[in-house]
Chain A
Amino acid sequence: MLLIKGARLVDPLHHVDKKADMLVDRGKIVEIKNSINVRGADVLVATNLIVCPGFIDIHTHLREPGEEFKETIESGCEAAACGGFTAIACMPNTIPPNDNPSTTRFIMERARMANGVRVMPIGAITIGQKGEQLCEYFSMKREGIIAISEDGRSVMNSGILRRAMEYAATHDLLVISHCEDHNLSGKGVMNEGIYSTRYGLRPIPTQAEDIIVYRDVALSALAGCRLHIAHVSAADSLFHIRRAKKRGLRVTAETAPHYLYLSDDMLATYDTNLKVNPPLRSRADVQALRKAIKDGTIDCIASDHAPHSSAEKDVEFDIAKPGISGIETSVGLVLNLVNEGVISLKRAIYLLSAGPAKVLNIPPNSLSVGSDANITIVDLKKEWTVDPSKFHSKGRNTPFAGYKLRGKAVATLVAGRILYSEL
Chain B
Amino acid sequence: MTIPKVIKKGEFPHKDLVSMEQLSEKEIYMILDTASRFKKISLRNIKKVPALKGKTVINLFFEPSTRTRTSFEIAAKRLSADIVNITSTASAVVKGETLLDTAQTLMAMKPDFMIIRHSYSGSALYLSRIVSASVLNAGDGLHEHPTQALLDLYTMKEYKGQLEGLKVAIVGDIAHSRVARSNIIGLNKVKAEVMLVGPKTLIPSSIEKMNVKVSYDLKEAICWADVVMMLRIQLERLTEGLFPTIREYSMLYGLNRDMLKFLKKDAIIMHPGPINRNVEISPEVVGDKRCVILNQVENGIAVRMAVLFLLRGAEKVSIEQ
Contact = CB atoms under 8 A, between A and B. Distances in A.
A183 to B, nearest CB: 11
Contacts of B123: 316
Contacts of B122: 199-201, 270, 316-317
A199 B206 contact: no
A224 interface: no
Given A197-B204, A270-B126, A318 B121 contact: yes
Nearest to B177: A200
A137 B40 CA distance: 77
Contact of A193 (B121, B144, B205): B205
Nearest to B209: A194
A329 interface: no
A284 interface: no
A315 B94 CA distance: 12
Interface residues of A, number: 21
Given A203-B204, A314-B98, A314-B100, A197 B120 contact: no
B99 A316 contact: yes
A198 interface: yes
A194 B178 CA distance: 15
Given A193-B205, A270-B126, A316-B120, A200 B100 contact: no
A181 interface: no
Interface stretch (B7-15, B135-143, B283-291, B301-309): B135-143
A200 B206 contact: no
B205 A192 contact: yes
Contacts, number: 66
A319 interface: yes
Nearest to B181: A200
B210 A197 contact: yes
A274 to B, nearest CB: 11
B192 interface: no
A319 B207 CA distance: 25
Contacts of A314: 98, 100
Interface string A196-208: 1111111101000
B142 A201 contact: yes
Nearest to A200: B143
A269 B128 CA distance: 12
Nearest to A191: B205
B125 interface: yes
Interface in B162-188: 178, 181
Contact of A315 (B100, B143, B204): B100
A194 B206 contact: yes
Interface string A264-276: 0000011000000
Contacts of A201: 121-122, 141-143
Nearest to A201: B121
Contacts of B69: none
A203 B141 contact: no
Contact of A197 (B93, B99, B125, B207): B207
A197 B144 CA distance: 11
Interface of B: 93, 98-100, 118, 120-123, 125-126, 140-144, 178, 181, 204-207, 209-210
7 contacts: A194-B207, A196-B204, A200-B140, A200-B142, A200-B181, A315-B98, A317-B120
Interface of A: 192-194, 196-203, 205, 269-270, 311, 314-319
Q: Return the 3 tightest CB-CB contacts between A and B, nearest first.
A: A200-B143, A270-B122, A200-B142
